[in-house]
Amino acid sequence: MDSTLAKGLTVLDWLVRQQRGCRLVDVAGAFGMARSNAHRTLQTLVACGWAVQDATTSAYRPSLRLFELGALVEAAADLRTLLRPHLASLSAATGETIHLAVLDGSEIVYLDKFDSPLPVAAYSRVGGRAPAACVASGKALLAAWGEDADAARLQARLGSLKAHTPNSLTDYAALQTELRRTRERGYAENREEWRLGVCGLGVPVFDARGEPVAAIGISAPSIRFARTQVRSLADRLMAAAADASRTLGFSPAPAPAVLHFNSRRPP
């Protein structure tokens, strides 16, 4: 266990529970720490955005970043509950593995999934992560946010593009082109870019504000990813994502039969 990290988290937890500003001497006394060690820990929390220091009193208190993260965790739990019926219906209609994913920095996190009942199927796990630039759900969300419009912003989010398979996109110009194409056709594709033998499709889900808050994805073995199958799966996926968006209160005007990226309302 990393003792420095553990100490910092313990101090942060204590600060939250005090419900008031705390001085350096308070923290040092509560944990039996030397003032220099307490100061270093507190300043690290401030530098990382987890705590703030009052310029007048020098007292420390937790930042609102904790509230922000708590709200995101709660929202994720609500998303899973609200959208699970749509995932179940899509799973029954396609027979393939279905995911619900959210964007977290340069990665996507799987919130929910339905496994394919077929003998050969794509594998993933709830809570697992994947690089957003390599999987369909991630590309769908990047495209929905318009991340490709600014190369510097895209690079700041994703960092260096790593080759996980020979098909991975490692050039930002190519990724930008792929994201624009994703928006135009209404769905993202992953053709063995994260794992060899596994392909996927992804479509964003919008909330009542018109913001892309999650993506529904289909993963399938490459042997079941012929062009005719992709078109059929994509149509079902876009319809499911449209239904899911309406569940979250999204109401484009005029409302098309299937929600596409360009039906997103201006923020």
pLDDT above 50: residue 221: yes
Of residues 67 and 145, more confidently modeled: 145
Asked if the model's pLDDT at residue 147 lies above 70, the reply is no
Query: What is the rounded distance in angstroms from the CA atom of residue 114 to the CA atom of residue 220?
Result: 12
Looking at 20, 45, 63, which one is the last position of a domain? 63
Same domain, 211 and 109: yes
Give the pair of three-digit tokens for residue 59.
Answer: 């007292």
3-class DSSP state for residue 198?
Answer: strand
Residue 260: pLDDT above 60? no
Q: Quote the mean pLDDT of the chain.
A: 85
State the maximum Cα–Cα separation within the chain, in Å, rounded to a whole number. 69
pLDDT of the residue at 258 = 47
Please state, as a whole number, how many other Cβ atoms lie within 10 Å of the Cβ of residue 166: 8
User: What element of type H or E holds 221?
Assistant: strand 212-221
pLDDT greater than 50 at residue 256: no
Q: What is the pLDDT of residues 185-208, one digit of tens each?
A: 999 999 999 899 889 999 999 988
Do 32 and 104 reside in the same domain of the chain? no
User: Is 219 found in the same domain as 133?
Assistant: yes
Q: How many domains are there within the chain?
A: 2
Residues 251 and 157 in one domain: yes
Give the confidence band of 257 by pLDDT, cuts at 50, 70, 90: very low
pLDDT tens readout for residues 16-37: 988 889 999 999 999 999 999 9
Same domain, 124 and 193: yes
**Bridge partners, 203 (sequence order):** 216
Higher pLDDT, 31 or 121: 31
Shared domain for 189 and 153, answered yes or no, is: yes
pLDDT, tens digit, for every residue of 65-115?
887 777 666 666 688 888 999 999 999 999 899 999 998 888 898 889 898
Nearest 10 degrees: Cα torsion 23, 26, 29, 30: -130
Residues 119 and 241 in one domain: yes
Residue 266 has a pLDDT of 40
| Peptide bond connecting 254 to the previous residue in cis, omega within 30 degrees of 0 | yes
Write phi, then psi, for 103 (nearest 5 degrees).
-90, 130
Enclosing domain of residue 173? 69-263
Total residue length of the chain: 267
Is residue 125 located within the same domain as residue 34?
A: no
State the pLDDT confidence band at 148, using cuts at 50, 70 and 90: low
Residue 125: Cβ-neighbour burial (10 angstroms; 0-12, 13-18, 19+): exposed
- pLDDT at residue 251 above 90? no
What average pLDDT does range 1-27 have in this prediction?
A: 87
Q: Which of 135-139, 189-193, 235-239, 260-264 has the lowest mean pLDDT?
A: 260-264
Claim to verify: residue 144 and residue 180 sit in the same structural domain: yes
| Domain end (from 44, 63, 82) | 63
Which pLDDT belongs to residue 230? 87
CATH of the domain at 89: 3.30.450.40
pLDDT of residue 267: 39
Nearest to 167 by CA among 186, 190, 187, 184: 190
Query: Which pLDDT score is estimated for 153?
Result: 80
The DSSP secondary structure of 49-115, one letter per residue, reads TSEEE-TTT--EEE-THHHHHHHHHHHHHHHHHHHHHHHHHHHHHH-SEEEEEEEETTEEEEEEEE-
Beta bridge partners of 114: 98
Regarding whether 228 and 158 lie in a shared domain, the answer is: yes
- 161, 221: one domain: yes
Q: What is the DSSP letter of 125?
A: -
Given 48, 63, 78, which residue is the final one in a domain?
63
Same domain, 222 and 115: yes
